[in-house]
Amino acid sequence: MPDPAPLSVGEIIRANKSDVITGSWETGSIPRAKFPLTRNKLSLGRGWKWRTVTFSALGHEFVVLVAISEEKESYRATLSMKFGKTLKVICFHELHTDHWNWHCHLIRGNVHDTFPGVLRDKNLMSVWPSFSKNECTIPFDVTEDSALTLAAARYRFAKGGGFL
């Protein structure tokens, strides 16, 4: 089987999306069936709420894990691409007040080169934008009500015209 054509995070974000399915908010560990990495389940810790969104684009299937802890002032929308029975995590869009402002950790270049089944490919993932100070200077105003809308805006998916 030939290697798939190179694909970037930007191309995925700009692509038309179809088959958008949004899960409900849940708490506790994330079962492998919802976000299949090589471990049995993913634990975010106490106080987190999470949900998944799946969609198709460019002949691939994607899963977005949206997670928020208002108590810890932390938000993350994780974009991943299905790869066999696991995922390739290709972008984190984050705000957490312990450092930096809004930022992404993303695979630069071909996402097909990403190591599958791990939460963060430390060899290929880099942060954008870069910051000169390790502090967050904006208020944490993400809520359970706005978290999905933020993820939909970042990764450009919507169901039924949008999330409000």
Model pLDDT, residue 96: 80
Name which of 20, 5, 4, 7 is nearest 156 in CA terms.
20
pTM: 0.89
**Residue whose structure tokens are 């995925």:** 12
Residue ranges in the chain modelled with pLDDT below 70: 1-3, 129, 131-133, 136, 159-164
Model pLDDT, residue 145: 87
Domain boundary assignment for the chain:
9-155
6/58 Cα distance (integer angstroms): 11
Contacts of 23 (CB under 8 A, 6+ apart): 34, 51, 52, 53
Contact between 106 and 126 (Cβ < 8 Å)? yes
Model pLDDT, residue 164: 39
Model pLDDT, residue 161: 45
Model pLDDT, residue 72: 87
